[in-house]
Structure 1
Amino acid sequence: MAAPIYKVAIVGRANVGKSTLFNRLISEKKAIISDIAGTTRDRNYAVCHWRDLEFYLIDTGGMGEKSKDIINQQVSTQAIQAMAEADLILFVVDVRVGATTEDRILAKSVNRHKTPKILVINKVDNNRWRQNNDDFYRLGLENQALVSAANGVGTGDLLDQVVTALKKIKKKKSKKNGEENIRTIKVSVVGRPNVGKSSLINTILGEPRLIVSDQPHTTRDSQEIIITHNKNKIILVDTAGIRRCSKKSGDDFEKMAVEQSLENVWRSDITILVTDVSEPLTWQDKHIIDEVIQQHNGLIILANKWDLVKNKDTKEYTNYYREFFGFARWAPIVFTSTVKKLKIGELLDLLVLIYQEKHRVITDNALSKLLADTIRRHKPTKGAGTKHPYIYNLKQTRTNPPEFMIKINFKAILHESYLKFIENNMRYKFGFIGVPIKIRVAKSQNLQDK
């Protein structure tokens, strides 16, 4: 299916229910919501389906008076960019508060755009509030919709208005260009706070798509950004920084953001673990990689901020990373700097390669030769028990991730170290760079297996 050709931006001041409306219209809890102003920061995209039309819905942070705070400035910039690229603007206000001075200032800004607009009067939870909307006519937006995003009242009628308005806009339909055959790779970008995750994606895009600052947890909602690289569709997911949360911590934002970050790891094909190479690695870095391996994701370890390192000895740092992440020696390490834009193209090529490795198929004949060579070099070692293991065969049982089954005689136990020896030989022979390999052991009493 071709990508949606329309975009609808949701804008308004803080705490009028924009993210709640966004989640309601896409029927998914994609945006983190709370009663605290400034919860949403980056603009958040999702595909919305209604009747026979698909369109992108864009959630934005609360706009307001000019602020000296760098993050608030970037939030407003993000919302302005969303309006600039939108085909339709939903200007959201709060019926319980009425048309505030801030609403009137923002309405003037919205009305400067020639783009069609709908005034969405939110939090209309009962008939009493339906009678209190006369004040909003002063904002100068003729098309209005009364809704309650929290319970869904009026949102169907709003979507009908949106579809009707979009169908009046003449736009060229996007060409499919064989999109059904384009490979889609979902990549989660994770790491501790302030290691440069959002900066990495901005560098890849060549534009300030995501808000960045020196403050921890600048990113809250996970953001999906789609790019194309060598005819591959890559979905980059920027996530909030993951760190160990204290049980006494009252930061609900952080807890929700970390949960969302881990959920994106679980849904990804490949994970990029971003680290700050100028600082020592931590237990939290190991914990993140452990989550990745449990989900059988592909993995790239990114040593960012290489420009801050004085003694640029890649061999020394590679050994340090390999020793620290001893259980993930198969993961490639990329030394980069988002400031200097080092090895960004190499990183994208590596994503495509790892995706291919996850789907690699090894023939039975090739595996039989590998097994014979492995046994000739080092005979199987037994684990617990007295019976010496005899290996009948080695076969691949699945891809994505690669999984293999090794069949041995019934009463024997194969030592774990020998399975690792087989895995290392497989990696040396066939590659599987950046991909976890699972080898299961099955026991057989069938003489035909010999």
Structure 2
Amino acid sequence: MARLPTVAIVGRPNVGKSTLFNRLVGKKLALVDDRPGVTRDRREGDAHLLGLDFRIVDTAGYEDHDAQSLPGRMRLQTEAAVASADVALFLVDARAGVVPLDEEIARWLRGSTTPIVLVANKAEGRAGEQGILESLALGFGDPVQLSAEHGEGVADLFEALLPHLERDETVEDEPEDDDPAAPLKLAIVGRPNAGKSTLVNRILGEDRMITGPEAGITRDSIAIDWEWQGRPVRLIDTAGMRKRAKVQDKLEKLSVADALHAVDFAEVVVLLLDATLGLESQDLRIADRVLEEGRALIIALNKWDVAQDPSSLFNGVKAALGEGLSQVKGVPLITVSAMTGRGIDQLLSAAFETREAWSRRVPTGELNRWFERAIEANPPPAPGGKRIKMRYVTQVKSRPPSFVIFGTRVDQLPASYERYLVNSMRRDLGFGAVPVRLTLRAPKNPFGG
């Protein structure tokens, strides 16, 4: 599959980079706020502009700081994005005019081999005229005058990008989601500072995500396309999720909502725990949310290389999971170290196996044979002396596996018997610990009215 050409958006903080990113991908994927420095990691998406398709990369605001500081590490990510792009959009704020930091960025970009397109954003109305004139001095020619918020000037942007993005290759259609060859959509979730971004970097073999001792560095959910042993993976790093009562800041609320949105679109979710802290109630709440959404779940114990009394810790976490996640028994528990790379192949192998079970569709004959055996081994109760007749079962969908059982008086079936059927399905039909949905339905009584 030929790759799409890549466009990076660069500029100082708060000039509208994420707003333009959202405009081009057609969705509100990047977090947007009035305060500067919201975006920290590179965020990528598929952009469409008047029939032109390309990969767009939103970057952190470029700031001149020490490379070891958080802003400095953010700047390194921006520089890497520009170096790997086919063309970069250099955004300036037409209303604010050119400031010293714009001039500093321009000096850096002039030394880059990547073609640069200057864009004067927030150019609607007459308030931006002076800033547009000032931007000519940056040395990149006439700016594209744009309003990312209102969508003005996109035709001019198309004309500026077209010479850099025209390709002879055709991009093949991606496989359907239920095709085993389709990319595995794998989200990494957990509390702040569990090591999610460090794990993603270790998996990719590069410093793709900004990491550090500060909690809550990641704000957006960042999706990265990658391959493991020749199999495509879409890896999603998410913001840390704290207890709801502790989340007061508007930006953190947006970050947590974005992480939950990423869970909704994942196939397999890895809940990363900090082995030095063990299992906490917030971890169980996150796991419960993942299972409620019908996603396949894997638990990974990170920082295993520095865990104390590992055998006792592993058994304790396993027992707590068995008690706290009673609705799904046997969720895979894997020990990893994002620092050393231990357990990563085992984790990815388990993720593919879990997706296979999550996507499984049971042949009708096999399903009905299981149904007969399950009822024969443990017949349904007869509340009030009236038998509950269970006639047949059908699978209505996969991902997650969902079944409907038809019969008479099934509305009186106790929850314990429903659990028996679901657990029997998991054990006998190869679903393991993935969520299984079961609905009971009685035929309509034609004389009921």
TM-score, normalised to structure 2, is 0.90
Q: Which amino acid aligns with 1:173?
A: E
Provide the residue aligned with 1:405 in structure 2: 404
1:281 to 264, 279, 282: 279
Provide the residue aligned with 1:417 in structure 2: 416
Q: Retained in 2: the 8 A contact 1:198–1:211?
A: yes
Shift of the 445–252 alpha-carbon distance from structure 1 to 2, 3 Å rule, reads closer
SS of the residue corresponding to residue 326 of structure 1 reads coil
Provide the residue aligned with 2:324 in structure 1: 324
Q: Retained in 2: the 8 A contact 1:387–1:413?
A: no
1:308 to 306, 309, 315: 306
Q: Does 1:185 align with 2:181?
A: no
Q: How do 1:50-449 residues align onto structure 2 when only pairs under 5 Å count?
A: 50-67=49-66, 70-167=69-166, 173=169, 176=172, 182-246=181-245, 250-313=248-311, 314-382=314-382, 385-410=384-409, 413-444=412-443
Q: Which amino acid aligns with 1:307?
A: D
Q: Retained in 1: the 8 A contact 2:189–2:238?
A: yes
Shift of the 26–393 alpha-carbon distance from structure 1 to 2, 3 Å rule, reads closer
1:34, 1:133 → 2: CA distance? 24
1:175, 1:156 → 2: CA distance? 23
1:238, 1:275 → 2: CA distance? 14
Q: CA deviation at 1:133?
A: 2.4
Q: CA deviation at 1:284?
A: 2.1
Q: Retained in 2: the 8 A contact 1:5–1:173?
A: no
1:338, 1:378 → 2: CA distance? 46
Spell out, residue by residue over 1:38-62, the C-alpha distance to the aligned partner (whole angstroms, 9 max, x if none): 1111011111112343111111111
Q: CA deviation at 1:288?
A: 1.7
Spell out, residue by residue over 1:174-226, the C-alpha distance to the aligned partner (whole angstroms, 9 max, x if none): 77498677323222221111111111211110111011122221101110011
Shift of the 99–356 alpha-carbon distance from structure 1 to 2, 3 Å rule, reads same
SS of the residue corresponding to residue 15 of structure 1 reads coil
1:434, 1:411 → 2: CA distance? 25
Shift of the 165–409 alpha-carbon distance from structure 1 to 2, 3 Å rule, reads closer
1:394, 1:15 → 2: CA distance? 56
Q: Retained in 1: the 8 A contact 2:45–2:57?
A: yes
Q: Which amino acid aligns with 2:110?
A: N
1:392, 1:308 → 2: CA distance? 55
Provide the residue aligned with 1:47 in structure 2: 46
Q: Retained in 2: the 8 A contact 1:25–1:155?
A: no
Q: CA deviation at 1:3?
A: 5.2
SS of the residue corresponding to residue 297 of structure 2 reads strand
SS of the residue corresponding to residue 31 of structure 2 reads coil
How many residue pairs get aligned? The number is: 440
2:52, 2:291 → 1: CA distance? 39
Shift of the 298–179 alpha-carbon distance from structure 1 to 2, 3 Å rule, reads closer
Root-mean-square deviation (CA, aligned residues, Å) is 2.4
Spell out, residue by residue over 1:95-133, the C-alpha distance to the aligned partner (whole angstroms, 9 max, x if none): 222222221111110001122111111221213422442
Q: How do 1:8-27 residues align onto structure 2 when only pairs under 5 Å count?
A: 8-27=7-26
TM-score, normalised to structure 1, is 0.90
Q: Which amino acid aligns with 2:44?
A: Y
2:400, 2:62 → 1: CA distance? 44
Deviates more, 1:38-47 or 1:340-349: 340-349
Q: Retained in 1: the 8 A contact 2:389–2:409?
A: no
Shift of the 51–154 alpha-carbon distance from structure 1 to 2, 3 Å rule, reads closer
Shift of the 97–321 alpha-carbon distance from structure 1 to 2, 3 Å rule, reads same
Structure 1 unaligned blocks of 5 or more: none
Spell out, residue by residue over 1:9-30, the C-alpha distance to the aligned partner (whole angstroms, 9 max, x if none): 1111112221122222222211
1:178, 1:22 → 2: CA distance? 22
SS of the residue corresponding to residue 33 of structure 2 reads coil
Spell out, residue by residue over 1:360-412, the C-alpha distance to the aligned partner (whole angstroms, 9 max, x if none): 12233323332333334333235x54423233333323222212222333377
Shift of the 172–337 alpha-carbon distance from structure 1 to 2, 3 Å rule, reads farther
Structure 2 unaligned blocks of 5 or more: none
Q: Which amino acid aligns with 1:278?
A: T
Provide the residue aligned with 1:30 in structure 2: 29
2:62, 2:335 → 1: CA distance? 38
Q: Which amino acid aligns with 1:65?
A: D
Q: Retained in 1: the 8 A contact 2:411–2:440?
A: no
Q: Retained in 2: the 8 A contact 1:403–1:439?
A: yes
Q: Retained in 1: the 8 A contact 2:3–2:171?
A: no
2:144, 2:194 → 1: CA distance? 43
Q: Which amino acid aligns with 1:317?
A: V
Spell out, residue by residue over 1:305-324, the C-alpha distance to the aligned partner (whole angstroms, 9 max, x if none): 22222212144432232223
Q: CA deviation at 1:268?
A: 1.8
Spell out, residue by residue over 1:234-279, the C-alpha distance to the aligned partner (whole angstroms, 9 max, x if none): 21111111112338x6411100011111111112222111112321
Shift of the 412–96 alpha-carbon distance from structure 1 to 2, 3 Å rule, reads closer
Q: CA deviation at 1:437?
A: 0.8
